[in-house]
Amino acid sequence: MPELPEVETIRRSLEEKLKGKTFVGVEVFLDKMLKGANPEDFGTEISGRKINGIERRGKYLIIHLAGGVAMVIHLRMTGQLLYCSPEQEKAKHTHVIFHLNDKCQLRFADQRQFGKIQLVQTKELENLAGIKNLGVEPFSDAFTREFLKKEMRNRRTKIKPLLLDQTFVAGIGNIYADEALFLARINPERVAATLSPREVSQLHLAIREVLLSGIENKGTSIKDYVDGNGNPGTNQDKLKVYGRDGQPCAKCGRAVEKKSIGGRSSHYCPRCQKL
DNA sequence: CGTCGCTCCTGGATGC
DNA sequence: TGCATCCAGGAGCGAC
């Protein structure tokens, strides 16, 4: 579910509430959400630790704790992190509740149970599988059109699956990949290496633009996504192609099509995004 | 190494 | 209404 803009929105909303607070205890209702630790050790390890800040890398959230410990969280498809009062009714699929020293709670809910929470030593963060192999951050200085050109030169895969490859560029998911390709007027089935320099430049700009819009609109709430306070975003109203199959293209009026590419649903305008 | 298909889950939509 | 099937915003894994 959450892609870079959603994870960034959650990061901002939670940092505001959690920074400087201390974890005082944990309740775990579904052990498998914790990766590499049993609930007892997990609780012991974080209890008494102050929250120094929250970082995002790709679609990962990293809660930095005092004493050189980091909690790495991935929400996958349906994960949610909610800061709320203890009186708030416990939502279905709430698998972990963190108790804070302000009496409030941080709750982790995940309908499909794909999400993961993992504790690591901060100095081991760079070696963590998943983090270690993340590609370039789309808003970093390293993400240039020259970088894209160079990286795509020898890639024989289709551009859509490449955009979803987190070891290539970090943070893009199915919604923003479709939106970026539409904005750049590139068909999702184009072989990456065959894009012209002009097309690569357009794609570079389009990726940043759709992700930035997503953040400014506080995320895309289609089904489950809400921020750390339970508030939905508004970016779903701005989507040009994702989920709009059968509806007219905003640019040319032709019906948007939906097709499975690399095992993922892809939405595009057959006239604006010719093969 | 790059690429592909399968898999982990629940539940909403769709079809018969 | 009931039941079966398909599909969903992600990514790790094994196979080739």
- A246 contact to strand B (CB, 7 A limit): no
- A175 contact to strand C (CB, 7 A limit): yes
Contact A115, A108 (CB under 8 A): yes
Query: Mapping DSSP to helix (H, G, I), strand (E, B) and coil, where does residue A46 land?
Result: helix
> Within this chain, do residues A160 and A97 fall inside the same structural domain, yes or no?
no
CA A263 to C1' B11 (Å) is 21
Q: Specify if A203 maps to a domain.
A: yes
Is A155's pLDDT higher than 90? yes
- Domain span at residue A14 reads 4-127
C-alpha–C-alpha distance, residues A270 and A205, integer Å:
21
Active site residue A264: yes
> Within this chain, do residues A104 and A78 fall inside the same structural domain, yes or no?
yes
Active site residue A35: no
Active site residue A5: no
Q: Specify if A199 maps to a domain.
A: yes
- A47 contact to strand C (CB, 7 A limit): no
> Within this chain, do residues A10 and A108 fall inside the same structural domain, yes or no?
yes
pLDDT > 70 in chain A, percent: 100
Active site residue A185: no
> Within this chain, do residues A118 and A154 fall inside the same structural domain, yes or no?
no
Looking at residue A223, its pLDDT comes to: 87
Q: Specify if A140 maps to a domain.
A: no
Looking at residue A224, its pLDDT comes to: 87
Contact A96, A33 (CB under 8 A): yes
Q: Specify if A264 maps to a domain.
A: yes
Q: Quick: pLDDT tens for A167-213.
A: 999 999 999 999 999 999 999 999 999 999 999 999 999 999 999 99
Q: Specify if A116 maps to a domain.
A: yes
C-alpha–C-alpha distance, residues A216 and A124, integer Å:
32
> Within this chain, do residues A161 and A259 fall inside the same structural domain, yes or no?
yes
Contact A54, A63 (CB under 8 A): yes
C-alpha–C-alpha distance, residues A16 and A21, integer Å:
10
> Within this chain, do residues A8 and A117 fall inside the same structural domain, yes or no?
yes
Looking at residue A221, its pLDDT comes to: 95
Is A1's pLDDT higher than 90? no
Q: Specify if A70 maps to a domain.
A: yes
**Of A127, A161, A181, which marks where a domain is finished?**
A127
CA A156 to C1' B11 (Å) is 37
Q: How many domains does chain A have?
A: 2
> Within this chain, do residues A113 and A174 fall inside the same structural domain, yes or no?
no
Q: Quick: pLDDT tens for A12-56.
A: 999 999 999 999 999 999 999 999 999 999 999 999 999 999 999
C-alpha–C-alpha distance, residues A155 and A176, integer Å:
21
C-alpha–C-alpha distance, residues A216 and A234, integer Å:
9
| Strand C interface, A 250-269, C-beta < 7 A | 260, 263-265
Q: Specify if A137 maps to a domain.
A: no
Q: Quick: pLDDT tens for A205-249.
A: 999 999 999 999 999 999 889 999 999 999 999 999 999 999 999
Starting from the edge strand earliest in sequence, which strands make up the sheet with A94-100, in order?
Answer: A23-28, A94-100, A105-110, A79-84
Q: What angle do CA A127, A2, A88 make, to 5 degrees?
A: 105
Residue at minimal CA–C1' distance from C11?
Answer: A76
> Within this chain, do residues A253 and A204 fall inside the same structural domain, yes or no?
yes
Is A145's pLDDT higher than 90? yes
